[in-house]
Amino acid sequence: MGIILKMTYRQELIRSMKLLAKNPKTIFLGQSISYPGNSMYHTLVGISEKKKIELPVFEEVQMGMAIGLAMEGYLPVTCYPRFDFLILAMNQLINHLDKIRVMSRNEMKLKVIIRTSVAAKTPLDGGPQHTQDYTNAIKLMCKEIKIIKLKKAKDIFPVYKKIVSDRNNFSYLLIEDGDKFNRK
């Protein structure tokens, strides 16, 4: 019988991003995805720089870009390092991405993967503007976007495998736990 190694939360995210990157149409976009600056950067190790678009801080434009890329047949993975930053993209998320199926009478089925995190409070607490969890509020506003909180490391890769195999092209908001990024 072989030894079964338990993957860490970060390792499972890295494994999942590599799975997504296998698709030639996948593009990762956001802040600090090509340069260090947040925990999500460390989950994109081994991903070709050709598949990344480093962006300045303009969250609503970032979401609009992701929607536009999806309209052109790409699989955008748009990264918001903190849930609090995603709040600035709510117009695009709620009024456009979430409603596009209804507005187009089911002709437009866009798959956008949105990654965000409830930021860690230890060893340094970023305060109330950087550590909030808006999951329940977003669930109340979104009717079409699938919202999944990634609570346990063992659940991460299966969730991403399911997303990859989703032929209905739903969009997904995946909420990561910043306190688990650096745990052994």
Domain harbouring 140, CATH code: 3.40.50.970
Full pLDDT tens readout for the chain, 184 residues: 555 568 899 999 999 999 999 999 999 999 999 999 888 999 999 999 999 999 999 999 999 999 999 999 999 999 999 999 999 999 999 999 999 999 999 999 999 999 999 877 776 777 777 778 899 999 999 999 999 999 999 999 999 999 999 999 999 999 999 888 766 5
Token representation of residue 175: 């909420």
Q: What's the rounded Cα separation, in Å, for the pair 58 and 116?
A: 15
Residue 2 belongs to a domain = no
Residue 145: give the domain boundaries.
9-180
Q: Is residue 157 part of a domain?
A: yes
pLDDT score for 33: 95
d(CA 83, CA 142): 15
Q: State the Cα–Cα distance between residues 148 and 9, nearest whole angstrom.
A: 15
pLDDT of amino acid 128: 74
Strands of the sheet with 52-54, listed across from one edge: 52-54, 26-30, 75-80, 113-118, 172-177, 146-149
pLDDT, position 180: 85
pTM of the model: 0.93
Give a yes or no: residue 3 inside a domain.
no
pLDDT at 6: 80
Q: Is the residue at 48 inside a domain?
A: yes
Q: Is residue 76 part of a domain?
A: yes
Say if 97 falls within a structural domain: yes
Distance, C-alpha 68 to centroid of its chain: 16
Asked if residue 4 is part of any domain, the answer here is no
pLDDT of residue 157: 98
Count of domains forming the chain: 1
